[in-house]
A and B are shown apart, each in its own frame.
Chain A
Amino acid sequence: MIFRDLPIQQKLTRVILITCSAALLMMAGSYIVFEYFSFRKAEKRKVSILAIMVASNSSAVLAFQSQEEADEILSALRADKKVISACLYDSNGDIFALYPKNLDKKSLPGKPDVDGFSFKNGSIEGFQAVNQKELHLGTFYIKSSMRELYSQVRFNIIVALLLIAGTLFFGYFASTIFQRVISIPIISLQKTARNISEKGDYSIRAVKIGNDELGSLTDAFNHMLEQIEIKNQEITKVNQESSKLAALVESSGDAIIGISLELTISSWNKSAERIFGYSSEEVMGQPAYKIFAFHLDDQQNILKILRAGEHIEPFEKQVLTKENKVLDLSLKISPVKDSEGRLIGISKIARDITEIKKNERLIIEKEEHLRLATQSAELGTFDMDLTAGTMMWDPRCRELFGIYHDGPVTYEDSFLTGLHDEDRDRINKIIDEAFDINLSGGDYDVEYRTVSQTDKKLRWIKAKGKVFFDEADKPIRFIGSVLDITKQKQDELRKNDFIAIISHELRTPLTTIKSFVQIVLAKAKKNEDEFTIKALTRADSQTSKMSSMISDFLNLTRIEEGKFKLQKQTVDVSTMLKEVVADAQMINNTHPIKLSYCEEAKIEVDNDKICQVLVNLITNAVKYSATGSLITVGCEKVDQALKIYVQDEGDGISLKDQEKLFNRFYRVENEKFKTVSGFGIGLYLVSEILKYHDSKIEVNSTVGEGSTFFFYLEDVA
């Protein structure tokens, strides 16, 4: 690993050790060199002193040629172990004496040389002249070993190396301890930095150790972190905002398109892809006029307007899609500005209003049709906005209420006030029901009288309408038409009067006939005249039927004229049903009529009217089911209410017929039932009578399996 990649701890340790080693090496090296040279110098001096002394002592022996004495002087050199060899030359340059005595003369210089000493091959050697009072007597030669010096130098080198090794050893431990003073703050800083980068948590702070440069660095680092954290928070916020914005743009149902100042497309969201049919890749960087079919001039114009800081009102435009489909677009063009308010682009929000436009055109057409239709049919129209609480009446509608101004009309002041006193509560109630989707399904179909507030003129009106509901089934709009039916109504009233008179007039003789038939029948039973009994029984049941039919007519006319009145009393249901079933069985002997189990209950009703309801239902069942099939009448408690029903095993009623079953004069159109007699007023009366009792006739029927007619009444027991 190269030095600069080492961890800082190791670097510091190494730097300390290298510095120590260098210092020690220089010190030891210079010491050894100094030692070496000073030792050499000292050795040279020592040898030269020795040579001078020996030479001095040798003068006499050379002068007087005393071999013995010469040998003795030289042998004294053995005291110095370093001396390798020595000799005395006489004045002729011949060797006079030598040391050691057995030395081979050849190892010595053949001739003496000038005075002086030099180092040669690990030893020091040289000559010293022997003089006595200026008289040259000979020369002394000596050779001394330098081995000791060199071994001393070697020893010193080894000691120095050991010293260095020891110093490095302790230096290593010392530096590993002391380097922490520097490395720990740096490492802690580094750890903090790594921690931050790994966790991405900029709230972490480095711990400051000491007030040196590292302390300042830590402070600076922490300060930097603070700034990063602040910036980070800002960036996070901005990112969140922009991702929210991006999500909004992406999820928008409108096409949101960014256009650069060069008028090329710079952003294109999903809805833009969907609406225009071009993918993002196809249009990015393309000139905008290609897509929007604008002339370049228009674009430049738009840019000019936006640069001037002016506003462009939303506008509608037709463009072609990739598939050459014409689209109606609502366009909103806004400037895109940077934080300093400079224009950096244009944003276009395009909404596909093709369908709306189509509907608008359709509505205009329909309204025109309607206008023509209403004009020709003399229909008046009304339109109530239930959320805004406003009501629109056309002139015809106003006319039918005797209003001849163009001012605002209201439900209370114009409509309810305009109704005939006898109709007001009923109509108000029906409208309330129409506003309840569960009760009416929003259908409205009534007839009422209006009394003109200006000239008190009475009109009969047929109104038909529809209530519209929102997703929460809350009524929001109520529209419909009104038709003047005064003339028909007057005709009808005359007809009703006629029927009423006829019925009334027929009723008295019929009652007389019935009473006489019953007297004669009683008499025949006494005489046991079988034929007469049969004939009279038949006559009796037919008169009962006729009487019931007349009752229906009378009730019908009363309802039509609004003169229908209830005379309520508390009735025992069980008793009432028994009587009805017994009477019905007597009249209709073609079908078995059975009273199923009946709860003990009491109801508060107009007894005759409810009996009429049951008779009509039974008569109906008898008419529309095969001879001999069972008809069941019964009642049961459902929660607090009492359910009363009439069940047959007939052919059942189709769903289509079920809708209109209770309309006046409605008769099921079926080949099978062509022979069935009737006016189609039985079930209408049932329905009307029950309405007066705050109840409602309902039917459960499956074709081929029979029908069950039922209604609920409150149990007052």
Chain B
Amino acid sequence: MVIGVILLLLSSFTQRMPVNEYQVKAAFIYNFTRFIDWPPETFTGASGPFIIQVLGDNQFSSYINDIVKGEKLGGRAIIVQRINSVEEIHQCNILFISASNASEVKDLLPDLNRRRILTVSDASNFAKWGGIIRFFKEGNNLRLQINIDEAKASKLNISSKLLSLSSIYRGN
């Protein structure tokens, strides 16, 4: 019965599968919630929501919203917040920075990492700048680049399965 319901949900989900790149990126961001562990203190209370902030790019945040709508993570509701400026960044779990806004957060990145915020962007030098995960395209496939040092510094526990798929960036 339960399986039947899941299948039903999956099928409805399937029909809404992303077809464009943003949709894929939105799915990836959602999937990060399953391969990365956030320490409990990053949440507000035991049932504090899982917060995804999207800086810039209004369209993208709506894609994410579509995906996470109704989803829960360990009993926590997933909330997608669109922000327009760096100032609006507050305590969240995932911060997506669109490429156009990346330069704005370049200096903030070490602080964000310390605050245990997974920083994700599709800006080309994002990893180099100190961001944790960068989307990049390889042929038709969307791939991930992970700055392993920053990831370690942020104390976020990234699944080895995810790491094994990603291109690892090492500074220095």
Contact = CB atoms under 8 A, between A and B. Distances in A.
A134 B72 CA distance: 10
Given A60-B159, A132-B34, A91 B144 contact: no
A92 B17 contact: yes
Interface residues of B, number: 23
A65 to B, nearest CB: 7
A99 B144 CA distance: 26
B165 interface: yes
Interface in A49-88: 57, 59-61, 63-67, 69
Contacts of A69: 164-165
Nearest to A61: B165
A91 B165 contact: no
Given A69-B164, A91-B10, A136-B10, A64 B34 contact: no
B47 interface: no
Residue from A59, A60, A93, A136 whose CB has the most chain B CB atoms within 10 Å: A60
A207 to B, nearest CB: 84
Nearest to B3: A114
Contacts of B137: none
A298 to B, nearest CB: 120
Interface in A385-402: none
Interface residues of A, number: 20
B31 A57 contact: no
A64 B17 contact: no
B35 A92 contact: no
Contacts of B6: 136
B35 A63 contact: yes
A201 B106 CA distance: 130
A135 interface: yes
B86 interface: no
B17 A135 contact: no
B3 A64 contact: no
Contacts of B13: 91
A568 to B, nearest CB: 176
Contacts of A456: none
A509 B144 CA distance: 220
A67 B141 CA distance: 9
Residue from A64, A65, A91, A137 whose CB has the most chain B CB atoms within 10 Å: A64
A63 B14 contact: no
A66 B142 CA distance: 9
B141 A63 contact: no
A617 B39 CA distance: 195
A664 B19 CA distance: 194
Contacts of B141: 65-67
A133 interface: yes
A98 B74 CA distance: 32
Interface string B1-30: 001001000110110010000001000100
A91 B31 contact: no
A132 B10 contact: no
B162 interface: yes
Contact of B162 (A60, A92, A135, A137): A60
B14 A91 contact: yes
Interface in B124-172: 141-142, 144, 159, 161-162, 164-165
Contacts of B144: 64
A59 B14 contact: no
B165 A135 contact: no
Nearest to A70: B165
A63 B161 CA distance: 10
Interface in B74-95: 74
Nearest to B14: A92
B134 to A, nearest CB: 13
B70 to A, nearest CB: 13
Contacts of B11: 93
B14 A60 contact: no
Interface in B42-100: 73-74
B34 A133 contact: yes
Contacts of B74: 133
Contacts of B28: 63-64
A92 B10 CA distance: 7
A64 B14 contact: no
Contacts of A63: 28, 31, 34-35, 162
A60 B164 contact: yes
A66 B165 contact: yes
A76 to B, nearest CB: 13
A60 B17 contact: no
A60 B3 contact: no
Contacts of A57: 161
A302 B5 CA distance: 123
28 contacts: A59-B161, A60-B159, A60-B161, A60-B162, A60-B164, A60-B165, A63-B28, A64-B28, A64-B31, A64-B165, A65-B24, A65-B141, A66-B141, A69-B165, A91-B13, A91-B14, A92-B10, A92-B14, A92-B17, A93-B10, A93-B14, A114-B3, A132-B34, A133-B33, A133-B73, A135-B31, A136-B6, A136-B10
Given A63-B31, A91-B14, 13 more contacts: A60-B35, A60-B161, A60-B162, A60-B165, A63-B28, A64-B31, A69-B164, A91-B13, A93-B10, A93-B14, A114-B3, A133-B74, A136-B10
